[in-house]
Amino acid sequence: MDIGTMGLTSVAAITVICYLVGQAVKATDVDNKWIPIIVGTVGGVLGVAGMYIMPDFPATDYLTAIAVGVVSGLAAVGVNQIGKQLHQ
């Protein structure tokens, strides 16, 4: 599996979208413990969509596309937590 520049850009885009979804959920009354599950699920859906929409997406099958999306979504949670830990 060759991950080119566009492939990394599309994965970064999924991470940013999932981060924004996480921030939107955080602004609601939903318990924060559900945010990783929500952004992971959104990432999986975006991964499958990316496989169809983006020509250089780094996945060519459903399972890999879902995995790329879920990992991207959970990376958004990790980025948020790193930022919080550095400011303590």
From residue 49, alpha-carbon distances to 5, 30, 57, 78 in Å are 19, 26, 10, 23
End-to-end CA distance of the chain: 39
pLDDT in tens, 3-62: 455 567 888 999 999 999 999 999 999 999 999 999 999 999 999 999 999 888 889 999
**What is the amino acid identity at position 77?**
V
pTM (two decimals)? 0.84
